Structure formats: C-alpha cells, structure tokens
C-alpha cells in the first residue's frame, strides 16, 4: 500500500463513511497522517455526512486539577451503538473541559499550561481536524458559574444569573446585565432567542417559570421576559426538577419527574418529556420513560439530562449506564447505553456533538 500514490489512496478512502475513516485513522501513524492531511480533508468534506454523537463532559474534579492521563473527549455513536474517543492532546492547556458543541466545533474551558495563575480561557476546537483557537480572555468567575450556549463559532453566549456575555466574531465580548429572578436552569439557545427556567417560588416550595430573551434586542430592551399563556395551566407544577433541552427546529423539550400529586414532597411515577412549539406556544407529550426503566432512577435523589433534537440522555447516581430516548425513527424508543467510560458518581453531563471534517474554528 505504501507504493500507491497518495492521491490514489485518498480517492480510495474518500469512498468510506466518516465513521469508517475515523476507525482507520486509529490503526497506525501512517493511516493517521494519510487521513488527516489537508488534501484528504478537503476531498472528504464534500462527500461524508456528519455523525450525530453524544459527548460526555469530564467529571467536575477533572476540571480543577491536573490529570496525568491524556485529555480526551468520550462520545457515543447511537447509530453504531459504540463508544469512541477523540484525543485532545493537541491542545496546549491543562485539563481541558469540553462544555458545548455546534456544527462540528467543540467549546471547552482550558487553563494555560504556562500561566502561574489559574486563569481559564474559552477555546474553540475541532477534534477531527485537531485545530483550535482561543476566544478573547474572560475572568475565572465565568468558567466557574457560567453556562456556555452556542449555535455557531460566531454566536457564543456565557450566561449567569446576573449577566450575560455575547461573542459575535468581533474579537470582543459584549456584556449585558440580567434581570432574571433566580439562577437560570438549563438555558438553551434557539435561533435568536435564549430560553431558561427560573424558580420564582418561596424558599420552601419551588415554582418554575419559563423566561426568554432575544439576542438581537439585548442592547435596546430589558433582557428577560416571562413566557406564559393562561391555557398552559399547571404544566410547570406537574414536573419535579424540570429542565430544558433544545428540540428540532422551533421546538423546546422540557424534562422532569412526573409528580404523583401536588403535595410538597410528592413522589414521581416516571420521567416525562414535554414539547413546546414556539410558533403556536402549545405543549404536547413527546415521551415518558417506561416504568421498568424508571425503577432504576427512583432510588436516586436527582438525575441529569442532556441531548438535543430527537435524542435525550438520562443519568443518575449508582446506575452505571445511561438511559436514551431516541425519536429519530419517529417512534420514541427507549434503551440503555452500557459501558460508560470514566469513574465518577454516575451523574453524567454532556452535549450533542455533530462530528464532521469540514468545521474549522
């Protein structure tokens, strides 16, 4: 094979799906060099559709100390039912902590390896092409308390209860004060708007409401407004610990434990997924976890949710696997994901990673 011209090899491997190209890259240094060259990436970028993967965020303790093992991004391929690993050793940062992704680009907090102080930067990288760039410097408080929301490399928001930073490719962050009544829960970015849940209740009883702001109006109007309709009734009261996940198109998913009653410490009968159409402002039920699967979550005091579109993942302490709601086929199937990498408490956080070779930061 070494005797074949490089162009011929590129033509041969360009006929493979992206999933198989990634496997071939890990076979040897020769294949890795061959299949990461700029000429091959340019050739395959027009032929291979992206992979829709589920990426895991590292446990929080990895975010705060140096880890001897090479940094990597663990991802699950739901279509091929296997775990994959992208090394992040091309990044000159200590303990890189991936937090979000959009259009094949991964956003992570990175601590400079040559800085005596613990200062973190928001880094944009593409694991498949091993390229990166650093966004303008932020204070360390933003990495500790901010939620990173992205929909492209030039539309990035870091959100806290008190303020929001917005980056639009102008090489600087725009800062806006926030009028949220409490810390935003599970904020999501949908086109030109940000949506988040906020607790407006009392210290002894939570009362969740949906808030939103329009990015294009940040400079000219009050940032956040409550989104509600009289017809919604008690839609927020039937769920325990609700959180948002972006759905397909102009849809928002709200996920939480379905309360068995409206009493203060009511138990839950299952986990419910509701779907809000932002055009009609109407809710409908997208799915509910099967009872036999939910039994594994009943013993846990809390669970984590991540995903996007037609896939939502659930994790909880001491379960050792993920539950997946998959609506890609239009049927809303539930299944377990085994073999979760890492050693943590079982509470996995993550995001959807659309792996592609065309994305360049």
Identify the structural domains of the chain with CATH numbers, from first to last: 1-49 (no CATH), 50-355 (2.120.10.80)
Mean pLDDT calculated for residue range 133-139: 87
pLDDT at 139: 78
DSSP calls for 138-186: --HHHHHHPEEEEEETTEEEEE-SSEEEEE-SSSSEEEEE---SSPPEE
Among residues 109, 54, 152, 83, which one has the least CA distance to residue 353? 54
Exposed, middle or buried by CB within 10 Å (0-12, 13-18, 19+), for 139? exposed
Question: How far apart, in whole angstroms, are the C-alpha atoms of residue 227 and residue 211?
Answer: 5
Task: Supply the pTM of this predicted model.
Answer: 0.87
Residue 46 reports pLDDT greater than 80: no
Task: Give the C-alpha separation, 38 to 36, whole Å.
Answer: 6
Q: For residue 287, what is the enclosing H or E element? A: strand 282-288
Q: What pLDDT, on the 0 to 100 scale, is given for residue 63? A: 47
β-pair partners for 157: 149, 166
- For residue 186, is pLDDT > 70? yes
Alpha carbon 337 to its chain's center: 17
Question: pLDDT at residue 65 above 50?
Answer: no
**Residues 11-44: tens digit of each pLDDT:** 888 888 777 887 787 788 888 888 878 788 777 7
- 141 versus 304: the higher-pLDDT residue is 304
């Amino acid at each position: 094979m070494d005797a074949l011209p490089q162009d011929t090899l590129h033509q041969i491997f360009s006929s493979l799906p992206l999933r198989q190209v990634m496997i071939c890259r890990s076979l040897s240094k020769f294949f890795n060099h061959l299949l990461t060259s700029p000429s091959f990436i340019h050739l395959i970028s027009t032929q291979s559709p992206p992979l829709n993967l589920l990426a895991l965020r590292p446990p929080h303790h990895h975010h705060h100390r140096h880890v001897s093992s090479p940094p990597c991004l663990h991802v699950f391929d739901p279509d091929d039912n296997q775990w994959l690993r992208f090394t992040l050793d091309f990044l000159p940062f200590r303990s890189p902590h991936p937090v979000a992704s959009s259009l094949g680009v991964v956003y992570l907090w990175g601590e400079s390896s040559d800085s005596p102080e613990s200062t973190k930067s928001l880094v944009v990288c593409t694991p498949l092409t091993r390229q990166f760039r650093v966004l303008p410097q932020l204070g360390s408080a933003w990495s500790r308390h901010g939620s990173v929301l992205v929909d492209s490399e030039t539309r990035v928001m870091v959100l806290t209860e008190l303020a929001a930073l917005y980056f639009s490719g102008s090489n600087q962050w725009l800062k806006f004060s926030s009028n949220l009544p409490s810390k935003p829960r599970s904020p999501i970015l949908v086109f030109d708007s940000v949506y988040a849940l906020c607790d407006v209740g009392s210290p002894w009883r939570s009362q969740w409401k949906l808030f939103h702001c329009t990015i294009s109006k940040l400079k000219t109007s009050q940032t956040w407004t409550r989104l509600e309709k009289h017809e919604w009734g008690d839609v927020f009261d039937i769920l325990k610990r609700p959180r948002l996940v972006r759905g397909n198109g102009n849809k928002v998913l709200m996920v939480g434990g379905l309360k068995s009653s409206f009493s203060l410490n009511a138990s839950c009968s299952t986990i419910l997924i509701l779907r809000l159409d932002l055009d009609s402002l109407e809710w409908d039920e997208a799915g509910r976890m099967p009872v036999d699967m939910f039994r594994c979550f009943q013993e846990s005091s809390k669970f984590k949710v991540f995903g996007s579109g037609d896939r939502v993942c659930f994790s909880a302490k001491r379960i050792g696997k993920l539950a997946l709601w998959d609506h890609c086929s239009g049927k809303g199937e539930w299944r377990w994901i085994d073999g979760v990498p890492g050693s943590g408490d079982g509470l996995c956080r993550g995001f959807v990673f659309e792996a592609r070779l065309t994305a360049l930061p």
